[in-house]
């Protein structure tokens, strides 16, 4: 058995785990300034400086109506289609959850109830790309989960404000308040409750390195979905895979940015060599911005791994724990049963990462940088708290009370023990 890298990245993927010192310092300063008494004023100053926006950050009904008038009926139809699919999947996930109660020993009852988080802030990127579907993934899922207050924000594009497609989608999916403000200032505004909004209990959604670092620093005071890193794709392919489709799918994710890893794991050398040859050719055919990003991503972060067996392929894949994992191989159910670490799985040639990213129904806010080894992506479960409770009858006190008192004293916690003693004395 052997694992061979036909193309090996020189990058240290562990460096994705934390922000660099410059980013951390910038974000720390910005958050400190916006936590002061004049925080709202500072947020407006950053909006003008970074996004050239001087307008009211709180979006009005009139602005939403104007945005709706600017977009085509076909665009609206596609947004509605994606919204329906994401909603249905989120509903199915919610229905799979359940409350419970069990009698552990005579008279000792324990259970849990499900309660949605009260308020959530959804960040929707809108800089280099207009991430329309991020609005669907975050706002829709929170709405289905039962979140009472949903605030959304997105970077304005100069004085025009939020991209009209994003703004229409935010409103359509159910955002209660919308802020025309992005970056660290947008995250701070939702967290601190600027401009008349309710301070949020949780921040969700993808963003650039400054947004990710802001969420990291704010975590604890608010919850977060995850600290997102550069997007990733891994493809497991065997001799039955179409090399052209494999190459196209790798390039499809590499266009995201300069540091977006694309990994191929295969047991077929011939396929691997075809893909290595074809990817640069496909990148060359892209528009300039996408070409520049994909060239750097593939050159510096792309890897092609040749394995002897499918068990080795699983081993390599689980170590990567890729955000997106495509399977273009025989016996799809075998891979579903044996793979453990990934953000979202795409089984068979018929599906691709872009389907999940845009409209097929699963969520595209997913773990990166190996985080899939211990958590999944955004779902209704992220917005729902599992809250435990217990109740006892008096007769249960005889054992529970005495055992609690003894264990408390073993730990040196006399006051704890006495809370049990008083009940034993009263009830028995």
What is the C-alpha to C-alpha distance for residues 236 and 171, in angstroms, rounded to an integer? Answer: 38
- Dig out the tokens for 109 from the structure: 């009852």
What is the C-alpha to C-alpha distance for residues 168 and 360, in angstroms, rounded to an integer? Answer: 20
Q: Is 324 among the residues known to form the active site? A: yes
CB of 166 within 8 A of CB of 138? Answer: no
CB atoms within 10 A of CB 309: 12
Q: What is the Cβ-side half-sphere exposure of residue 198, based on CA atoms within 13 angstroms?
A: 15
The residue from 324, 349, 364, 414 that is catalytic is 324
The residue from 323, 337, 349, 414 that is catalytic is 323
What is the C-alpha to C-alpha distance for residues 336 and 56, in angstroms, rounded to an integer? Answer: 49
What is the C-alpha to C-alpha distance for residues 409 and 393, in angstroms, rounded to an integer? Answer: 24
What is the C-alpha to C-alpha distance for residues 250 and 283, in angstroms, rounded to an integer? Answer: 10
Q: Is 131 among the residues known to form the active site? A: no
CB of 165 within 8 A of CB of 131? Answer: no
What is the C-alpha to C-alpha distance for residues 249 and 33, in angstroms, rounded to an integer? Answer: 43
What is the C-alpha to C-alpha distance for residues 236 and 266, in angstroms, rounded to an integer? Answer: 6
Please identify every residue annotated as catalytic. Answer: 323-324
């Amino acid at each position: 058995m052997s694992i061979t890298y036909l193309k090996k990245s020189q990058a240290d993927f562990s460096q994705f785990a934390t922000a660099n010192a410059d980013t951390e310092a910038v974000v720390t300063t910005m958050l400190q300034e916006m936590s002061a008494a004049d925080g709202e004023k500072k947020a407006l100053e950053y909006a003008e400086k970074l996004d050239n926006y001087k307008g009211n950050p709180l979006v009005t009904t009139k602005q939403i109506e104007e945005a709706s008038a600017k977009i085509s009926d076909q665009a609206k139809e596609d947004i509605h289609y994606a919204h329906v699919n994401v909603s249905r999947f989120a509903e199915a996930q919610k229905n799979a959850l359940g409350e419970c109660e069990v009698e552990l020993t005579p008279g000792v009852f324990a259970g849990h109830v499900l309660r949605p988080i009260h308020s959530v802030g959804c960040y929707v990127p809108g800089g280099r790309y207009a991430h329309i579907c991020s609005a669907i993934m975050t706002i829709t899922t929170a709405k289905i989960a039962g979140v009472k207050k949903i605030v959304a924000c997105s970077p304005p594009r100069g004085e025009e404000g939020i991209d009209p497609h994003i703004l229409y989608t935010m409103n359509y999916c159910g955002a209660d308040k919308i802020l025309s403000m992005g970056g660290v200032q947008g995250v701070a505004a939702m967290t601190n409750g600027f401009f008349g909004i309710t301070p949020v209990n949780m921040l969700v959604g993808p963003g650039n390195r400054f947004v990710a670092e802001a969420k990291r620093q704010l975590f604890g005071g608010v919850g977060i979905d995850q600290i997102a890193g550069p997007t990733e794709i891994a493809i497991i392919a065997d001799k039955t895979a179409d090399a052209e489709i494999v190459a196209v799918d790798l390039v499809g994710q590499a266009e995201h940015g300069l540091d977006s890893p694309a990994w191929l794991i295969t047991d077929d050398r011939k396929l691997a060599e075809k893909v290595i040859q074809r990817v640069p050719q496909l990148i060359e055919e892209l528009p300039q911005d996408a070409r520049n990003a994909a060239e750097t991503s593939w050159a510096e972060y792309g890897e092609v791994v040749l394995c002897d067996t499918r068990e080795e392929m699983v081993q390599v894949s689980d170590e990567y724990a890729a955000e997106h994992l495509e399977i273009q191989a025989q016996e799809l159910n075998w891979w579903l049963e044996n793979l453990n670490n990934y953000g979202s799985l795409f089984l068979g040639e018929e599906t691709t990462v872009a389907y999940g990213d845009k409209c097929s129904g699963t969520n595209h806010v997913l773990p990166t940088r190996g985080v899939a080894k211990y958590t999944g992506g955004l779902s209704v479960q992220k917005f729902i708290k599992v809250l435990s409770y217990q109740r006892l009858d008096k007769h249960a006190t005889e054992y529970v009370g005495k055992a609690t008192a003894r264990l408390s004293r073993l730990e040196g916690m006399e006051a704890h023990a006495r809370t049990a003693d008083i009940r034993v004395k009263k009830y028995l």
